[in-house]
Structure 1
């Protein structure tokens, strides 16, 4: 996805398996300072693996913030930034997946496209999506978030509007390629923006809001498709919504969040302090091939990428082709549009609920595996020769698994780039396995991917559990530290989330 962009943008948080554990970091979840010591169960202390001169701010005495004041600041930041970011991602995902809605509305027949050509139109979107992520993300650093994000939003909105006037498959291919090129910079751009607003331990919840929008886009998208089916001939004008969102970006996302106009002087001072605190664990922004090499040799990176590939088969296949799956049950195109609404609502609600639960428990793997069980059962109900009511219930179960698992598990820059690249490769596959009704191949492939994901999740859970045990034994003096690499996630201060 944005692998080469990741090489340029080092200060990206990484949660789940590569994360400092705020649950064990004291009352306020504060990070260990440079030269800090690690507590031992016996009350003694061992020297931290963080060098006393690490980072640009490590040697500075950074003041701590009052927890109540910081909580109020976070509420204010959320009230301003979260709605804007959610609406931006909503419009992006809406324009990306509406091809599934127009397919059941008769668009392929209108332009003379076969089932294979329609599937190709879904897949080629991600060719330019992957290719343009790096250039757009680099431009985000060279220009400003306001210019880049607003420009991208306006460009893909105009593309969506003009898609209403295509008359052949070549026009559809062209609009999908342009749409992918424009939307490729949004996700890395929003994540990079989050890293300059929130601390690492605060970002998981904010990222979860983005993926709730993926579910909301399904709800809003089918509602919009239902309305436009009643207003034949103006389908492309759905892109006007995204143009309005572009204006919201321009006025709602300041280039420098630490000096945002809605903050008072005390809050701006607190934002500056928080920026210094982030710098302690972000490290240098200078590019290092050695860091990239270490990341690519990490077993956790490869197995996490494989897990995300399996999960994204469900994400891109189910979210894009759900209207077609429901149509294959015998419902009309109009019925297929509004019957998807409760499915997406349930999925979004389950995702948001579990996101809050596993953030507080600092446990992720078991929740993902638990949600996958619902997806597996759901696909089995859809595949087996059961009644339409049972198949529709299966769609609800699939939505539970989908929206719990779409959020990527962020790590350092190279890791997130590579992992997302594997995830988007799944989107190309998904476009090819859902070709003709009743979509048996696509559904069987998806449930098989979830089954493989369960096995990989177990392997990963056992591996990082072993890593945590080794760190604990070293910190307790029970064994000698013979590891060659002791920085980054190898530091004893860092605890992997299971």
Structure 2
């Protein structure tokens, strides 16, 4: 491979690109960047610093879309597949086979999400320490093997243990993918790529229903629920070599870059408000995230949102059986529900990136979820209740994912963002503990208590999202006033790289 050298750019004036200001810079000899081979021959050149409009930008983004986004999609697909299979296994006779009584099934759901509370914050920070290649590959090996092994549990205690272990390794997947995409893409490019990831999660839930349907038709020596775990665990393990070979611990070292593109990626970090490869872990960044009121408002809102998504992921097949569908057909009916969810989220994410706003989509998703829940609760007509499930599907992933994207994009330094996202997921995932206790066995299959609680929390989450909007708007106005005052007094605009998004140049997204 041809070696390259690139003269470093020395910034003369730098203003955060999120405010739309021009950036003036020059290198030692002038304003032109050159890439040279060892013999001094110029191979390529460009006249601008990396930006959204730079000709190289579209080239590197297309390559990341082609080689990295599919890997993130498949990882979340596999994680979601192994996470939600217990719901389909329950419909296929899990509780009867293991002799589960009372709310023991609900307890197994609860302990799975309990691991998320501990590992979500850790996963977001560990990605930069361990590296994407080893962290994502290792987690895939572990949760795939554990899911496959679940087929041989023989009683309640065994199921409880494997669900704890499964949760421990799956809990790091979502924050890892979120943080990895924030390293790869600018804020303006972020949501549509994450839409593909969530699209994969929705398809995963649909695919899980199809696998369950297929397993119910197997006439073997084992029961249908066992085949569900075996098939889905084996699928996860089959993808392990792809991640070990396809990912690098540093984005610029990825196998698909040319030398010119690799150097562009390195220079590109300086123009992104989301990642600095030289950043080291500092407790001060953790503290900035912990004491930020916006972190906690977002987290409590996510708690209300996730109560529905966690509950419905596991209990939806059971609820559909109450509408007159057989066990097999109930699993099959989850397919179009999740497909509608996927299409809706993809459209919302595309529009959100184009107009650069997040909050209206979160509020809209909460309203759709609350409306769907109200229909399912308020009607005794099975056709109407099924329609309510489809209305619910319009918002169930839109509000949760946009909440995380909004918070992540509005935090600058890596470890502040990782901590804020970790807290967000910590509080949000704790709703999984509650969901297993409000969707209780004695309320089966209508789950009136669980659905009513979820409805109220969706309304509460919408209100908190409006509060976040006003907090961000107030801060943006304060920053704009400070910048205007500095310009009037001909004073430099204050900047401290440790304050990241708290600097006046950083404009919060609504």
TM-score by length of 2: 0.81
Q: Sort the Cα spacing of 1:325 and 1:251 in 2 relative to 1 into closer, same or farther, 3 A.
A: same
How far apart are 1:142 and its partner, in Å? 5.0
CA deviations over 1:285-331 (Å, ceiling 9, x no partner): 23333333332222211111111111111111112211111112221
Mapping of 1:401-412 within 5 angstroms?
401-407=395-401, 408-409=404-405, 410=408, 411=411, 412=417
Find 1:210's aligned residue among 193, 197, 204: 197
How much has 1:76 moved relative to structure 2?
1.4
Secondary structure, aligned partner of 1:437 = coil
2:285 to 284, 287, 291: 291
1: CA distance between counterparts of 2:273 and 2:352? 26
2:73 is matched with 86
Q: Deviations over 1:93-136 (max 9, x none)?
A: 11011111111111111101125100110110123333345666
Instruction: Identify which of structures 1 and 2 has the higher relative contact order when contacts are C-alpha pairs closer than 8 Å and 6+ apart.
Output: 1
The Cα shift of 1:250 comes to: 1.2
Q: 1:316 aligned to 289, 306, 310, which one?
A: 310
Decide which of 198, 217, 221 is 2:185's aligned counterpart: 198
Contact 1:468/1:496 (<8 A) preserved: yes
The residue aligned with 1:258 is 252
The structural deviation recorded for 1:437 is 1.9
**Distance between the aligned counterparts of 2:179 and 2:470, measured in 1?**
31
Q: CA deviation at 1:196?
A: 3.7
| 1:155-166 equivalent positions in 2, closer than 5 A | 155-166=142-153
Deviation at 1:188?
3.0
* Counterpart residue number, 1:495: 507
Label 1:220 to 1:445 Cα distance change in 2 as closer, same or farther (>3 A).
same
Residue 30 (structure 2) aligns with? none
Partner residue, 2:85: 98
In 1, distance between residues paired with 2:207 and 2:102? 25
CA 1:400–1:218 in 2, change beyond 3 Å: closer, same or farther? same
Q: In the alignment, which residue of structure 1 is the partner of 2:50?
A: 64
Summarize the Cα distance change of 1:381–1:196 in structure 2 as closer, same or farther, 3 Å threshold.
Answer: closer
**Match of 2:504, SS?**
coil
Q: Distance in 2 between matches of 1:210 and 1:282?
A: 24
In the alignment, which of 84, 100, 105 is matched to residue 113 of structure 1?
100
Return the alpha-carbon distance in structure 2 between the equivalents of residues 306 and 144 of structure 1.
30
Query: What does the per-residue CA deviation read over 1:322-345, in whole Å, with 9 as the maximum and x for residues that have no partner?
Result: 111111222111111111111101
Give distance in 1, aligned partners of 2:127 and 2:501.
Answer: 27
* Corresponding residue number in structure 2 for 1:432: 437
Matches of 1:277 and 1:315 in 2, distance apart?
Answer: 36
CA apart distance, 1:385? 2.7
Q: Is the 8 A contact 1:197 1:258 kept in 2?
A: no
Aligned residues: 448
Determine whether 1:385 maps to 2:396: no
Q: 1:235: which partner in 2? A: 228
- 1:144–1:286 CA distance, 2 compared to 1 (3 A): closer
1:454 to 447, 457, 462: 462
- 1:129–1:182: 8 Å Cα contact kept in structure 2? no
Sort the Cα spacing of 1:373 and 1:187 in 2 relative to 1 into closer, same or farther, 3 A: closer
Separation in 1 of the partners of 2:180 and 2:469? 30
Q: 1:34 to 1:312 in 2, by over 3 A?
A: farther
Provide closer, same or farther for how the CA distance between residues 279 and 316 of structure 1 changes in structure 2, counting only shifts above 3 A: closer
Which of 342, 348, 358 is the matching residue for 2:336?
Answer: 342
User: Does the 8 Å CA contact 2:144/2:234 hold for their aligned counterparts?
Assistant: yes
The separation in 2 between residues aligned to 1:135 and 1:414, in whole angstroms, is 8
3-state SS in 1 of match to 2:394: helix
1:62 and 1:276 in contact (8 A); partners too: no
| 8 Å Cα contact 1:21-1:496 kept in structure 2 | no
How far 1:195 moved relative to its partner? 3.9
The corresponding residue for 1:306 is 300
Whether the 8 Å CA contact 1:105–1:333 is kept in 2: the answer is yes
The answer for the alignment partner of 1:222 in structure 2 is: 209
TM-score scaled by length of structure 1: 0.83
Task: Give the aligned CA root-mean-square deviation in angstroms.
Answer: 2.8
Q: CA deviation at 1:155?
A: 1.6
> SS of the residue aligned with 1:230?
coil
SS at match of 1:401: coil
Correspondence list, 1:29-44, <5 A: none
Counterpart position of 1:122 = 109
Partner Cα separation in structure 2 for residue 144 and residue 473 of structure 1: 40
CA distance in 1, matches of 2:435, 2:109: 9
Q: How does 1:321-400 map to 2 (within 5 A)?
A: 321-400=315-394
Equivalences for residues 470-481 of structure 1 within 5 A: 470-477=478-485
Per the TM alignment, residue 143 of structure 1 is displaced from its structure 2 partner at its CA by: 4.4
